[in-house]
Every structure is written in structure tokens, then in C-alpha cells.
Amino acid sequence: MSENSVNSKRTGLIYAACFLVLAVVYGIGGSRIDYAFASDPLGPRVVPVILALILGLLCFFYLRNPGEAEDFPRGATLLRVLAVPLTLVVAVLMLETAGFLLTVFFIVTVIAALFGAPLKFALAGGAVQALLWWFVFSYLLEVYLPKGIVFG
């Protein structure tokens, strides 16, 4: 077995283990959703728990027989890969305070910049996406969206 094959299997095992942890956390979070039993006998817990079980089962299959995978990213690529979930965590934390529009603007702008978009295009894309999704959720779907300090 070549060195590249061993490294790609190891990378696959790392990914599978990470997704298994994600499945467990997602399943626990989904099982803690409160709901009124009278509204729906199954409730909103069912879908997240079933998805977590399916993901966990697939992770166990992959852990047992990992296939070939890309090598684990290094250097600038690794930083970009880690910056995406970090950006989403920051966005979740700022949602109530900054509001939906600024949060979506932040997410799209940062991720576009991470993937190499020029700053003016990243900013324009963030503005267009924020307004588009505000319109879709607020007016078409009539979903409450936090306005935040700026727009509240």
C-alpha cells in the first residue's frame, strides 16, 4: 500500500469521525426540541433525530471501510476551510443583535472573500443576497426575522 493511499484512508477516517460527532450533537439537539404534543403526535423532533441516525449509520459504514479521499488540507487552504464554520458560528452569535440583514451580509461577504472574490464583488454579493433572502423570508414566507439594533 502506498504512502498516498494510507494518507487518504487516514483522511477519510478523520472526516468520518468528525461527521459522527456532528451526528451525535445534532441528534441530541434535535431530541431536546420542545413542542406541544397536541399539535402533532410526532412533533418536530422526528426529522432531526432520524437524520442524525442516518448520518451516524453512514459514518459507521465509512469508518469500517474507508475509501479514497483527498489529502487533508494544509496551509492557506486549511485556514479557509476552518474559517467557513467559524464565520457561521460568529453569524449565529450576532444574529439577534445585528439582525438578519447584517448577518447574511456578513456571511456572504466573508465567504466570498475567502474564496477569492474581489472585495467590491464580495460586498455587492453580500448586499444582494441579504436583500433577496430578507424579501423571500419576510414577505413571501412571512417568517419573523430579527431586525437587530441598526434596523430595529
pLDDT tens for residues 138-147?
A: 888 887 888 8
How large a percentage of the chain has pLDDT more than 70?
Answer: 88
- pLDDT at position 39 is 59
Helix boundaries (H) for 3-74: 3-31, 46-64
SS3 66: coil
| Model-wide pTM > 0.75 | no
Q: In this predicted structure, which of 8-12, 60-64, 117-121, 125-129 has the lowest mean pLDDT?
A: 8-12
Structure confidence at residue 5 (pLDDT): 61
* Averaged pLDDT for residues 47-75: 84
Instruction: Quote the pLDDT of residue 96.
Output: 85
In whole angstroms, give the CA distance from residue 102 to residue 85: 18
Choose between 50 and 70: higher pLDDT.
Answer: 50
- Rounded Cα distance between 136 and 112, Å, is 21
Q: What's the rounded Cα separation, in Å, for the pair 110 and 103?
A: 11
pLDDT digits (tens, 9 = 90+) for 94-122: 888 888 899 999 999 999 999 999 999 99
CA angle 123–126–128, rounded 5-degree value: 110
How far, in Å, CA of 150 to CA of 146, rounded? Answer: 11
Taking only the tens place, the pLDDT of each residue in 38-54 is 556 666 778 888 999 99
Q: Over range 9-28, report the average pLDDT.
A: 86
Q: What is the reported pLDDT for 108?
A: 95
Predicted local confidence at residue 36, as pLDDT: 63
Residue 3 has pLDDT above 60, yes or no: no
